[in-house]
Structure formats: C-alpha cells, structure tokens
Structure 1
Amino acid sequence: MNNKPQKRKSSGADVFHASLTTPPEAEQSRQFETLQDEQVRFLYSSLPVSIIISAMLVVILVVILVVIQAPVITSALLFGWSTLIGSILLGRAFLYIDWKRSASVAVRSDAHRWLIWFRIGVLSTAIAWGIGGVFLTPSDDLGHKVYVSFILAGLSAGAAASLAIDRISYIGFLCSVLIPQIIFLANQGDRISLSMSIMDTLFLLFLLANAHKFNLQLKENFYLRQKAIENELQLHQMLEGSPIAAYTTDAVSNQVLFANSSYISLIDSTPKEVIGLVPGSYYADTDIYKKIMGTLRKGESITNELIELRSAGDKAWCKWVLASYFPLKYQNKPAILGWLYDITDRKLMEDKIAHMAYHDKLTGLPNRTLFMDRLKQTITDAERENNVPVLMFLDLDRFKPVNDRHGHHIGDLLLKAVADRIRGCLRKSDSVARVGGDEFIILLPSVKTKENGLDIAEKIRQSLSLPFEIAGLSLHISSSIGVAFYREYTKDEQELIKEADIAMYHVKDNGGNSVKAYRKAMQTEREDASTEECLSS
C-alpha cells in the first residue's frame, strides 16, 4: 500500500511542518510571510474594480470641469492631470495582468515584491487624486468645492474597504487624497471652506479608524483560518500515525473525507476507493449504524460501542471493533470522527473461551450447564404458551467394549459420529447435550402429541443402530432412550430429568436398544431392584 504523503498547499502543510521545527522568531517571520501571501492575493484580486471606479470618476470629473468650469480651469492643466492619472491607472492595469500571469508560478519570496509594487501604484494614484483635489478646484466656486469633496470622500470610503488588509496602503492612500484637500480648504479663509476642512478631517479620522478595525478583523480571520488548517493537519498526522483505524465523514452525506492507513487496512480497501464511501455499508447490522448516526446528529458522542463489520465486496470477512464517534468541524463543515479499535482476535478468543465453557470439547455439543439454561427457558416458555416439552435421556449400548477393544481414539471418533447423527434427527429448535462419557440428553421444546415425541426418539434409536464406518472399521452399537413429558407427572426441571433417567435405566435393565416413556411404576421397580441388590450383597 502506498502511504507516501500527498502534496499539500503551502498555506496548509508547509505551515504545519514548519511549526514543528522552527523557533518562535522564525515562526513569527513565517506567519508574516504567509500573511503577505494573503495580502497580495486580496489586494490584487480587487485591483480591477478599483481601476475601473477610479477611471469612471476621472471621466466624470473631467467632463464636469470641461462643461462647467472651462473658463476657470485651463485645458493644459486639465489635460496634464488627466494624462498623469490615466498613465498611473494604465500602469496598474499592466501590473495586475503581470501578477495574474505570474500568480500560478509565483513563490512565496515574490510576495513582498508584488506588495511593494502594489503600494507604489496605490500611493501614485492617491497623490494624483490629491493634486487634482487642489489644482482642479476653483477657489471662488463653492458648489464645485463641495462636488470635488464628495468625489474624493466617496473614492476614499471605497479605498478604505478594499485596502484595509494592508495598513501602509490604506493610510498612504487616505492621507495622500484627503490631507491636500483639507489644507486647501482650510487656507481659503471663509467659514464654509473651513467647516468643510474640519468635516474632511473628521471623515479622514473616521475612515482611518474603521480601516484599522477592519484590518485587525481580517488579520484575526486569517490567523484563525491558519490555526484551523494547522489543527486539521495535526489531526491528520496524528491519525495517520495511529495504529487505531480512524476516519472522518461528512455529517450530512456520511461519505468518508479522510481515512488513515489503519482504517483502509481494516476494511480491506485502497486509498482511492475509501474516499467517498459510506462506512455504514460495512456494518453487519445497519440498524445500529442508523442509531449511531441519529445520536451523533444531536451533537452527542459515542464511546466504546461494540460493532461487527462485514465485507461489502466479493472477499468475505468479519471483524469486531470497539468504536467511538465524535462530532467535529472538518474543512469548515460539520463532520464525524470515527475511531475504531480492532478487537477481532480478542473477540474470537472470548467466543472460543465462552464456547468451551458451555460446550463439550470433544463433540462440540452443549454441556450440562448450557443445557440446564435452555431447559429453564423452555419450561418458562411452556408455562406462558402452554407447550409440551419433551426430555430424553440417551445412553449408548455396547460402547465400552468398542472403546476398550479399539482404543480411546476410535471411541472419541465414534462419540463425534453419534453426536452428528443425533443432531441430524432433530429440528433446529431442539437441543442435545453430552452429559457424560456416553450419555446424552435431548430437549424438544414442544411437540403436538406424545406420539410425536416418541417418534423422534425412535428415529434417533434407529439411526444409532446403523453401522458406523470409522477408520476402516465397521462399528455396531445401539442406544437406550428414556422419555419424560413435562406436566404429565411433574413441572419441576430436576424431576423431569430424573424421570427420563429412570426411563432410560428401565430400558437398560430390559436389554437396551429401545425407547420407553416414563411411568410412575418404573420408579417403584427401580427402587425395588436397588433394594434387592443391597440385600443380596
């Protein structure tokens, strides 16, 4: 699997990797350079609009001066100023074209140079407007003074917003445009001009204060974006280096946005295939996945949830994980972090241990402990649903001679084969357990009639009476089966087992290889036989 890191933008990965190795002084320098990149992009992106607006204001001012103030303003002065500012705007237009062409290949070290040229263009434009505000304003025409002041004020207000990201640019532009006009009006000697000068001064201070505030906001937003990118990259590196499978998904579409190599390996996928898939497609129980997503959409976290994963493709596999999920922001959008700890080996070992605790090691059948749990549950269900459970006690006939003659290995193989034949005669709802060397106990949760229960017992007896072909040997055994019916004589589980056991020994005492249902007389006969044995001994 190819785990080589993918290329990242300089504003993201380079920022993070540099922060790992650089001292505080170098870190400040690196952030300053990165901010310059942002400043250059922002300033040059808004440059075409600024040039167009300035050009339109120049045309409007010149037209009004030609039409209204032709006797006062000389054509040479008007032409000279128009040529000056027109040349500056044209130069800035060429500067923008050059930046646009070079932006795709520009390196960070060029940012400072582009910023200097932009500032030169801004200051040149501002000086030209400042000159126009003084020399193109007739001193004896109050209306034209007000008109020029409005044009410069509007121009300055727009520039304060578009240049706010660079303090040198907005201070240089505002002061160069408005201060000459303020001084010019203050020197006119009349009250109205002095009032206009004061108003322009206050307006200048207002624009500088607003631009400063906007500048701080833009820088703060920039640093917050940088911090978010660094945090995201740091999360990426932490997750990618983690042995625990992890991924992030879109909170709306549930599609994977990022996955580390451990998760890709966990679901047996590839880096290309994993992006865009929905993790729920690997959940064995899709209802659990829906429940988890519902909880996460409420803003809540989930920890240590046992999840079974299954393959979604042709290659079949099953794995178990302890999963934790956390809502978060990823790429400025609501997302979910999934953290999956693979416990497949541990789960299989626990299942194996649990199986060994409740199953016979040789035959794989339930042992007495598990069988008793099932018997209790069956009796509980029988009381609720009025069923008739059946219990059978089965003991093999002639097993000991086979085991003694051919050895324990053959005896073990024979017991396995017996277990398989018994299972083959039962329904899915029935249970069989090995409770002794060659003793088995069978539970039928419900039968319609006693005859049905006896028929199944007879089916088992006939099956076990057929020869067993094991290791080249043809082995012949038989079985003695005692049958007890719930409610016929007792409702107690231990008494039910005792009844089946007594019926089985009754068969044994009468030659074996038969099926008998328990009768009360069998218990009396068994007790009498035990008494006679004691007296004779």
Structure 2
Amino acid sequence: MAHPRASEKNAIPLAEAMALPGLNPPFPNDSSSGPYRGEQIDLLYAHLPASIAISALLAVILVFVQASVIDPTLLLGWSAALAAVLLIRTVLYLPWKRQNDSASPSDASRRLRRFRMAAIATGIVWGIGGVLLAPSGDIAHKIYVAFVLAGLCAGAATTLAIDPISTRGFLFPVLLPQIGFLSSEGDSISLGMGAMTALFLVFLLSSARQSRRRMEENQHLRLKATENERQLHQMLETSPVATRIADADTFKVIFANASYAQLIESTPEEAIGTVPVQYYAQAQDYFDVQVVLAKGGQVVNKLIEIRAPKGEHWRKWVLASYFSMEYQNRPTVLGWFYDITDRKLKEDRVEHLAYHDPLTGLPNRSLFLDRLQQEIARAAQIKGSVALIFVDLDAFKPVNDRYGHNIGDDLLKTAAERIRNCLNRKTDSVSRIGGDEFVVLLPAIKDEQGAVAVAEHIWLSLSRPFQVEGQNLNISSSLGVALYPDHAQSEEQLIQCADRAMYHAKGEGRDCVRVYRQGMGGEGGGYDGSGARRLAATDA
C-alpha cells in the first residue's frame, strides 16, 4: 500500500445515506486531502486481482452448470460481456500496479472514477446474468444462480467496503434484478427467495458500512501515527540535544541527528548502522540499560562516559535517557544525551582539589583518613593487616629558608614523586599531611618485614641528592612504621603509633627507620603527638 503523501486533517463523520449518488463525489471524509483518498484507492486496487479471478471462476462454473438448461448462444454472449468487463478492470489495474510514487490529485480522481464505473459495469453484467441464466420454472437452477450471486456479493461487500459508491454500485445492479425476477415468478418458494435476497442486500449494505467505518478509523489512526512520526523525526532532526534511535532487535542505529553525530565526532550518515555500545567506556552501562528497558522500564539522566571506539582520541560525559518506542513500525530505543563534559571536568577538578594536595597532587589528609578507615574495616573482616608509615623530611626548613619557597616547593614535589615511585602495588598510596610530612598507607601487608622493606626503600630513595633548579640538595628522612592489628586496634591508635615511631627515629639522630614498640615515645619520653593531632584536625 502506498504511503501517505500529505498532512492529515480531522476526519468528518461518514455519510449514512443509502441512495446511489453520482460517480465522482468525494469520499465521506474527503475534507481531508491526499492521504485518505490515496489509501482508499490503493486498497480498492489492491483487491482487484482477487476480485477479477473469483468473478471469472464463478462465471466458468455457472456457465458449466447452466449449459444444460440455457441456450448456448445466450451463455456465450453473457460470457463475452463479462470477459470484456473483467479485461477492462485488468487494464485499469496494471497502470496502478506500476506506479512508483503518489499520483496527482487529478490522476487519483480519474483512477477512482474509472474503478467505480468498472465496478458498476461488472455488477450490471452479473445482474443481467442472474436473470437470463436462471430458467423460469426450474427451482433447482434458480436456487443455484441465487447462491452464486449471494456469494459474489458477500465478497464484493468486503473488498469494496472502503468506497460506498463502488459498494452500492455493484450490489444494487446484481441483487435488485434478481429480487425482481424471483418476485415475478409467483410461486411461494420464489417469493420467499426474493424476500430473503432483499434482506440479504440490506444486511450487506449495513455490514459494508460498518466495515468502512472501521477501515477509516484504522486509516485515521495509521495516518495520525505517520504524521506524528514525521513530526517527531523533524523535531529530533533539528533538536540541539544529541538524539539517536536504535533498533531494539539488532541494536543498530536507524536515526541520528546532527547533534548526536557531533557528540560522537562523526556524521549522521556514518552514525547510521553503528552499534552504540562501541562508544561506551564501560560496556556494562549499556547492557544495564538494555535490561531495564527489557523489563518495561526507562532510564532517565544516567551518567555515562563515552569514548572514541578506536583508540583514546576523546572522552566525554553525558546525561543519558532511554525510552522504548515504536518507530518505522518496529520496536526501537530512543536515546538522548546531554553533553556535560565541561561541567564534569570542572566538578572533577573541584573534587580533586578538595581531596588532594594542590602542590604535590597527592591525596590530602581528608582522603587519607577516609581510605585508612575503609582499609581498617576491611582488614578487620578478613583478619588482615594494614601498615602505616610516617615520613618526615629532616632539616627541610633550613633548605626552604636558604633557597626560597620556590626551590622548597620543587623539592617537596620531587620528594613526593620519589615516595610514590617506591610503592609497587596499586593499593598502596602516599598522602601529604602538611609541611614536610607524608604518610604511606599499605593495605593487606603480609607482615612487619614487608612494611619495613617499603619504608627502607623510601628512606634510601630520599637519601639520594636532589637536583632542583641547578642546586644540588641533600636531605634525609625519618620514618616510623606501625601495623594494625599488631600495634593498634583502631585507625586513631594506628596513627599515634606510627607518629610515635617516627618521633622516636628523629630522637635517635634522624635519618633512619623505626618500627613502633610498646612504650615508645610514651609518657615521659618527650613525644608531643603533633603528627597525630595534625591528622585528626579538620581540613580548612
């Protein structure tokens, strides 16, 4: 069936009149232009091959059955007339079948007018045959002819229902002569058959009218859906929001607007046929969305990271929403995406500054305390160990005062990098807690010897000379090591133990590593707890 070619209007009520009007009046809802008429004409012509074939077959059977009671010349003449009419209808069908696009309004009206005339002509020929081929006084053959006409009209009422003129133009010429013929026979059986045929005609007209209403309602809904889809397509095409529609079965993109193409740094043409999952930095995000949609849900404003499908040329963040919908007569998924990359990067920078030291880029006190609390809780569950190493740069203040803050800052950054390079596991981390003090967190450490090995590696790395802006600087470091649960039962106690061990190292002449021992730096030992207090303080 050809697609609608123009915007639909509201359908007006169907005509209820039974009288046969002229051959070329408008359809009952022809206050609408092209779409209704185009679909109605297409529907009429689409049924034409079956109608022609059935009419021809019925004629052959009728002639064969009636050959024994009807003059052969009469049978031949009627058959020739019907064949001519069916040939004309075939000639009308072929140009319609070959049409590639919509016909002009004048062509559509001409096709409809010719179809109606051919339908009426066919009805007239069958009406004449119903009288001439039914022998008077032979009840069996009269019943047979009436039976053939009834079946023919029942089928015509269905195939022609969309056009009331064609319906009545066929039914009236076929059945009215038959009603008159049967009524004129005079016998009670013929009179009864005539009455029944009249009732049958009324039933067919009523049934055709109801069928036509349903067809037109369906047409209206279909055209409305087509128009809505066209408007949706136009709206999405010009929308500044990145939008794409993907087939729900193949997952391939079947529509992409310019904003979506710009988002994935492509063109709308190149985006068609792609599978969206290739742009997801985390494929699981895509599959999670499909699970929600499969259950009849929808996803709104989900933060998604997308990236170039090949290589790492770009990364972006979007707020994505997904909805199931019907598009182009198939289930699809509508997705629209707000590019929030700039906002996300700003938020990440703000968050980074909130939890990282601006000079060295290392985690600050707040992030360290959060990580320490998590690792202590995890170690308690699995009966594991956590090591903490306090690192203090010896005699950093004199270097800073002598060479200036710029060189002092560069020295701190280099020292931070050396400490970080001493950590081989991804779970290990170093934080700057202020001034020239650092703290190293070693989760799931095997034993004290492993923690001491890391501390000595850091101590040795910091003991090497530093080259800073042409200056050859030498500093040392004092390190204190403590373990949970060997030395402490909580994060606060672990911090104090490591701080006390580091203070003890400084008290023994600095430039060394010390492990916490019971009574180390305790009451009367000179330990002031300054490092632990700094860690416990709230960030400014």
TM superposition score normalised by structure 1 = 0.87
Describe the superposition over 1:111-148 as per-residue Cα deviations: whole angstroms up to 9, x where unpaired: 11100011011111111222222233332332232222
In the TM superposition, 1:135-150 aligns within 5 A as: 135-150=132-147
1:164 touches 1:214 (CA, 8 Å); kept in 2?
yes
Change (3 A) 1:103 1:415: closer
**Aligned partners of 2:312 and 2:46: how far apart in 1?**
52
**Number of aligned residues:** 508
Q: Give the partner amino acid of 2:52.
A: I
Residue in structure 2 matched with residue 481 of structure 1 by the alignment: 479
Greater shift in the superposed pair: 313-322 or 205-214: 313-322
Q: Give the partner amino acid of 1:523.
A: G
Residue in structure 1 matched with residue 218 of structure 2 by the alignment: 221
Change (3 A) 1:132 1:475: same
How far the C-alpha of 1:40 sits from its partner, in A, is 1.7
Secondary structure of the structure 2 residue equivalent to 1:433: strand
How far the C-alpha of 1:488 sits from its partner, in A, is 4.6
**Aligned partners of 1:90 and 1:502: how far apart in 2?**
110
In the TM superposition, 1:512-527 aligns within 5 A as: 512-519=510-517, 520-524=519-523, 526-527=525-526
Residue in structure 2 matched with residue 303 of structure 1 by the alignment: 300
Greater shift in the superposed pair: 430-439 or 50-59: 50-59
In the TM superposition, 1:19-58 aligns within 5 A as: 31-58=32-59
How far the C-alpha of 1:382 sits from its partner, in A, is 3.0
In the TM superposition, 1:280-319 aligns within 5 A as: 280-319=277-316
How far the C-alpha of 1:458 sits from its partner, in A, is 1.8
In the TM superposition, 1:162-173 aligns within 5 A as: 162-173=159-170
Describe the superposition over 1:234-274 as per-residue Cα deviations: whole angstroms up to 9, x where unpaired: 22222223222222223333332322222222233332333
**Aligned partners of 2:56 and 2:520: how far apart in 1?**
121
How far the C-alpha of 1:444 sits from its partner, in A, is 2.1
Greater shift in the superposed pair: 420-429 or 130-139: 130-139
Residue in structure 2 matched with residue 244 of structure 1 by the alignment: 241
**Aligned partners of 1:272 and 1:491: how far apart in 2?**
63
**Aligned partners of 2:493 and 2:385: how far apart in 1?**
15
Q: Does residue 1:470 correspond to 2:468, yes or no?
A: yes
Secondary structure of the structure 1 residue equivalent to 2:32: helix
In the TM superposition, 1:60-75 aligns within 5 A as: 60-70=61-71, 75=73
How far the C-alpha of 1:97 sits from its partner, in A, is 2.4
Among 452, 455, 463, which residue is 2:450 paired with? 452
Greater shift in the superposed pair: 386-395 or 357-366: 386-395
1:129 touches 1:177 (CA, 8 Å); kept in 2?
yes
Describe the superposition over 1:90-118 as per-residue Cα deviations: whole angstroms up to 9, x where unpaired: 22222222333445573344111100011
In the TM superposition, 1:39-438 aligns within 5 A as: 39-70=40-71, 75=73, 77-102=74-99, 104=101, 106-428=103-425, 429-438=427-436
Identical positions, percent: 51
**Aligned partners of 2:126 and 2:378: how far apart in 1?**
97
Change (3 A) 1:315 1:123: farther
CA RMSD after TM alignment: 2.6
How far the C-alpha of 1:221 sits from its partner, in A, is 1.3
Residue in structure 2 matched with residue 4 of structure 1 by the alignment: none
**Aligned partners of 2:483 and 2:281: how far apart in 1?**
40
Q: Which runs of 5+ in 1 are unaligned?
A: 1-8, 20-27, 531-537
Change (3 A) 1:315 1:452: closer
TM superposition score normalised by structure 2 = 0.86
How far the C-alpha of 1:513 sits from its partner, in A, is 1.8
Residue in structure 2 matched with residue 15 of structure 1 by the alignment: 7
1:256 touches 1:279 (CA, 8 Å); kept in 2?
yes
How far the C-alpha of 1:89 sits from its partner, in A, is 2.0
1:502 touches 1:526 (CA, 8 Å); kept in 2?
no
**Aligned partners of 2:487 and 2:80: how far apart in 1?**
121
**Aligned partners of 1:444 and 1:79: how far apart in 2?**
107
Change (3 A) 1:102 1:307: closer
Secondary structure of the structure 2 residue equivalent to 1:516: strand
